[in-house]
Amino acid sequence: MENKIKSIDPASPLRHKAREGDVVAAINGHRILDVLDYKFFAYDTRLTVRLRRPDGTEYEVDVHKPEGGDLGLEFESYLMDRARSCANNCVFCFIDQLPPGMRATMYFKDDDARLSFLLGNYITLTNLSQREIERIIALHVSPINVSVHTTNPELRCRMLKNKRAGETIDVMRRFAEHGIVMNCQIVCCPGWNDGEELLRTMRDLEAMAPGVHSVSIVPVGLTKFREGLEKLTPFTREHAAETLDMVTAFGDECLKRHGTRIFFCGDELYLLAGRELPPDEFYEEHTQLENGVGMLRLMETEFLSALRLSDEPDGVPFAIATGVSAAPYFQKLLDAAKARYPQLDGRVYAIVNDFFGHSINVTGLITGQDLIAQLKGKELGKRLFISQNMLRRQEMDFLDDVTLAQAVEALGVPIYPVEQDGFALWDAMAGELPAVKLPESGPATDYYPYNQN
Within 13 Å and on the Cβ side, how many CA atoms surround 361?
16
In a domain, 347, yes or no: yes
Q: Name the strand (E) or helix (H) holding 165.
A: none
In a domain, 388, yes or no: yes
Mean pLDDT of 149-171: 95
In a domain, 82, yes or no: no
Task: Examine the pLDDT at 73 and tell me if it is beyond 70.
Answer: yes
Q: How far apart are CA 94 and CA 437, in angstroms?
A: 30
Domain that includes residue 334, residue range:
298-447
Which pLDDT value is given to residue 243? 98
Last residue of a domain, one of 262, 292, 322: 292
pLDDT-derived band of residue 52, with 50, 70 and 90 as boundaries? very high
Q: Name the strand (E) or helix (H) holding 252.
A: helix 237-258
Please write the tens of the pLDDT for every residue from 289-330.
Answer: 989 999 999 999 999 999 999 889 998 999 999 999 999 999
Shared domain check, 185 and 235: yes
Which pLDDT value is given to residue 311? 87
Shared domain check, 209 and 66: no
Report CA Rg, the chain: 24
Last residue of a domain, one of 292, 322, 337: 292
CATH assignment at residue 346: 3.40.50
Task: Examine the pLDDT at 41 and tell me if it is beyond 50.
Answer: yes
Shared domain check, 305 and 238: no
Which of the residue ranges 17-21, 231-235, 330-334 would you say has the lowest mean pLDDT?
A: 17-21
Q: How far apart are CA 408 and CA 274, in angstroms?
A: 34
Shared domain check, 59 and 30: yes
Please write the tens of the pLDDT for every residue from 207-242.
Answer: 999 999 999 999 999 999 998 999 999 999 999 999
Residue 292: alpha-carbon gap to chain centroid: 9
pLDDT-derived band of residue 81, with 50, 70 and 90 as boundaries? confident
Q: How far apart are CA 225 and CA 228, in angstroms?
A: 9
Mean pLDDT of 44-56: 91
CATH assignment at residue 156: 3.20.20
In a domain, 85, yes or no: no
Task: Output the CA torsion 81→87→91→92 (10° steps).
Answer: -10
Shared domain check, 177 and 159: yes
Q: DSSP readout, 180-201? A: --EEEEEEE-TTTSSHHHHHHH
Residue 196: alpha-carbon gap to chain centroid: 28
In a domain, 88, yes or no: no
Shared domain check, 357 and 283: no
Mean pLDDT of 440-453: 65
Which pLDDT value is given to residue 153? 97
pLDDT-derived band of residue 2, with 50, 70 and 90 as boundaries? low
Mean pLDDT of 433-449: 76
In a domain, 107, yes or no: yes
pLDDT-derived band of residue 435, with 50, 70 and 90 as boundaries? confident
Q: Helices marked H in 96-236 — which ranges?
A: 113-119, 130-139, 153-160, 168-177, 195-206
More confidently predicted of 38 and 423: 423
Around Cβ 152, how many Cβ atoms within 10 Å? 18
More confidently predicted of 297 and 100: 297
pLDDT-derived band of residue 449, with 50, 70 and 90 as boundaries? low
pLDDT-derived band of residue 439, with 50, 70 and 90 as boundaries? low
Which pLDDT value is given to residue 103? 80
Task: Examine the pLDDT at 82 and tell me if it is beyond 80.
Answer: no
The rounded mean pLDDT for the chain is 91
Q: DSSP readout, 119-130? A: H--EE-STT--H
Quick check: 32 and 25 in contact, CB under 8 A? Answer: yes
Which pLDDT value is given to residue 353? 97
Which pLDDT value is given to residue 453? 41
Last residue of a domain, one of 75, 105, 129: 75
pLDDT-derived band of residue 440, with 50, 70 and 90 as boundaries? low
Shared domain check, 203 and 100: yes
In 3D space, the residue among 376, 381, 389, 391 whose CA is nearest the CA of residue 414 turns out to be: 381
Which pLDDT value is given to residue 286? 95
Please write the tens of the pLDDT for every residue from 167-206.
Answer: 999 999 999 999 999 999 999 999 999 999 999 999 999 9
Please write the tens of the pLDDT for every residue from 258-289.
Answer: 999 999 999 999 999 999 999 999 999 999 99
Shared domain check, 125 and 149: yes
Task: Examine the pLDDT at 441 and tell me if it is beyond 60.
Answer: no
Which pLDDT value is given to residue 108? 75
Which pLDDT value is given to residue 104? 78
Shared domain check, 169 and 146: yes
In 3D space, the residue among 312, 227, 217 whose CA is nearest the CA of residue 266 turns out to be: 217
Task: Examine the pLDDT at 252 and tell me if it is beyond 50.
Answer: yes
Amino acid type, 261: R
Q: How far apart are CA 317 and CA 306, in angstroms?
A: 19
CATH assignment at residue 49: 2.30.42.10
Q: How many domains does the chain have?
A: 3
Task: Examine the pLDDT at 438 and tell me if it is beyond 80.
Answer: no
Q: How far apart are CA 156 and CA 159, in angstroms?
A: 5
More confidently predicted of 183 and 437: 183
Shared domain check, 390 and 365: yes
pLDDT-derived band of residue 451, with 50, 70 and 90 as boundaries? very low
In a domain, 83, yes or no: no
Task: Examine the pLDDT at 450 and tell me if it is beyond 90.
Answer: no
Q: How far apart are CA 445 and CA 105, in angstroms?
A: 28
Shared domain check, 231 and 100: yes
Which pLDDT value is given to residue 214? 98
Shared domain check, 370 and 251: no
In a domain, 155, yes or no: yes
Quick check: 286 and 294 in contact, CB under 8 A? Answer: yes
Look at residue 331 and give its three-state secondary structure.
helix
Q: What b/e string do you get for 39-66 counting C-beta neighbours within 10 Å, with b at 16 or more? A: bbbbeeeebebbbbeeeeeeeeeebebe
